Amino acid sequence: MHEIMLFITVICVVGFGFLVVAKRPFDAMGFFLCFVAYRHLPSIFYLFGFSGESAFFDNVRHSSAMVEMALIFMVFMVFTYLGYIVFNRVRFGQSLFPDYSAPKSDLLILAGIITLTICAFIVAWIPIQQTGDIFEAINLVRNLDFYEGLNVLKKFIQFATLLSSAYIVDLIVRKRRGAHIDTKFIGLIAVLLILNLFFSFIMGGKGFIIWPLAFMAIAYAVCATKKPMQFISLTCLALVVLVLSLQFTRIIFVKEASIKDPISYLYGALHFDVMDGNLIFIDTLGTLHDEETGETFANGLAGVVPRFLWPDKPVQITAGGDFKESLLPGSRGGWPVFAYNQWFSSFGWLGVITGGFLTGWLLRQIQAKYSQMTRDPFSTYISYILILYVVSPTGINNGIFINYIFFVIPLFIFQFLTQARWGRLLTPTVRNEV
């Protein structure tokens, strides 16, 4: 019964958002709702009594947590929709994001991507040189914390992959619309993208590979195809296969990776166990662990300061890391805690309302800033980066401070350095919309 209530709540809340609030499936709100739906897909598995974290999670024993989390989720999303609607004509906040609608210099964009790719190569090459083997290097980075305290270096690889994939889809769409773009130039960007995907594979993070490819496919579908949903559906199936393949490769070749039964393998590879962790988080709130008022967001703000400048800053910045440590002392990583659960644990129901309203406001600003999303693939892609990494898949959370620094500020810098006015000093070839 509780499983059905949770499932129906997710279906009704997300369905209402798609039908009433989002104007298109892949505008800012529509894209956000896709992430929300994906994060809550495990509610289908619960109908059949399955959960990935069965050692700690039991559908019967945690039934009250399902009801409570369903209510928190519903209130958060209702106020997200209200914030999105209320700020329809109030555009306060657009200046928080860079404007990519102005002409850009193709030469400077290429130079920027090459520079990032060189940095990505250096970051990926160091662990390979240490171990002499690619899969040993993956193990070193993934399981032995080779870049502990220096995770910011991985951002070079992430940005190189994101921007090269954004640019290649931009070039393809422009060429399709009649712009004169040399196929060899597109091929060069494709080579850089493949290199950066390879470096991302070494870093061991599936998200570094999956999301750039997904954004590229969706931006192309939205901007250049007449039937985007068919194209996106096929892309999603292909990406699921790719996720499973990457997970399987890691199991075979990388140390300390465990083999599970097929359903658990699928469940873990798609990170569905995150929702299990959130239900446990709510069920044990106030007993196994407790959050002081605002503690989670204070820790998130502390994450902005590098550890070498503040050696005594909190070990766990994310709520999920602290929580999993209390459940499994000495465990690696953590279960990412959904935004609405962070607001609830930190500030109660008032926090849920505030967090939802702020999420709706920020999504509206992204939508207004990149209102030409169906026309300009580059702006479309940038908006997807902001929704995933700044808003987050379930709303504004305690990572917004550090993610703004790591994603938005570099995007401002890249936008400034690649303006056509600088490019004209070097070459007359600039990016012109057709």
Give a yes or no: residue 101 inside a domain.
no
**How many helices (DSSP H) and strands (DSSP E) are in the chain?**
19, 0
Judge whether 286 lies within some domain. Answer: yes
- Is residue 244 domain-shared with residue 132, that is, in the same domain? yes
Q: Which domain covers residue 48, as residue numbers?
A: 2-96+259-359
Residue 430 lies in a domain: no
Q: Would 428 be classed as within a structural domain?
A: no
Tell me: do 112 and 235 sit in the same domain: yes
Q: How many domains does the chain have?
A: 2
Instruction: Indicate whether 229 and 173 sit together in one domain.
Output: yes
Question: Which residues sit opposite 285 in a β-bridge?
Answer: 289
How far apart CA 271 and CA 42 sit, in angstroms, is 9
Domain shared by 264 and 248, yes or no: no
**Alpha-carbon span 203 to 109, nearest angstrom:** 24
Residues 6+ apart with CB under 8 A from 335: 273, 274, 276, 277, 278, 280, 281, 320, 323, 324
Whether residue 220 sits in one domain with residue 133: yes
Q: Please name the residue that has the structure tokens 């379930």.
A: 394
* DSSP type of residue 51: -
Residues 180 and 70 grouped into a single domain: no
In a domain? residue 80: yes
CB 137 within 8 A of CB 202: yes
Q: Are residues 247 and 381 in the same domain?
A: yes
Do the domain assignments include residue 432? no
User: In sequence order, which residues have a C-beta less than 8 Å from that of residue 47 and are 6 or more positions away?
Assistant: 3, 4, 7
Task: Please tell me whether residues 130 and 245 are part of one structural domain.
Answer: yes
Which residues is 419 bridged to in the sheet?
104
The pTM assigned to this predicted structure is 0.86
Nearest Cα to Cα of residue 402 among 389, 411, 420: 389
The pLDDT score that the predictor gives to residue 103 is 78
Q: Does residue 236 share a domain with residue 139?
A: yes
Phi/psi at 49 (5° precision): 75, 20
Q: Is residue 264 part of a domain?
A: yes
Residue 366: inside a domain: no
Q: Are residue 242 and residue 379 in the same domain, yes or no?
A: yes
The angle at the Cα of 169, spanning 168 to 174, to the nearest 5 degrees, equals 100
Percent of the chain as helix, strand, coil, to the nearest 5:
70, 0, 30
Answer with the one of 359, 391, 408 that is the final residue of a domain.
359
- In order along its 434 residues, the chain shows pLDDT tens digits of 788 899 999 999 999 999 999 988 788 999 999 999 999 998 888 888 776 655 455 555 567 888 999 999 999 999 999 999 999 877 778 889 998 877 788 889 999 999 999 999 999 898 888 888 787 887 787 766 777 767 778 888 899 999 999 999 999 988 988 888 889 999 999 999 999 999 988 886 778 888 898 898 888 888 877 677 777 777 777 877 777 676 666 655 555 555 556 677 677 777 788 888 888 888 888 777 777 677 788 888 877 777 667 777 666 666 666 676 677 666 666 678 999 999 999 999 999 999 999 999 999 999 988 876 567 888 889 999 999 999 999 999 988 988 999 899 999 999 888 887 665 555 544 444 43
7/57 same-domain check:
yes
Is residue 264 located within the same domain as residue 245?
no
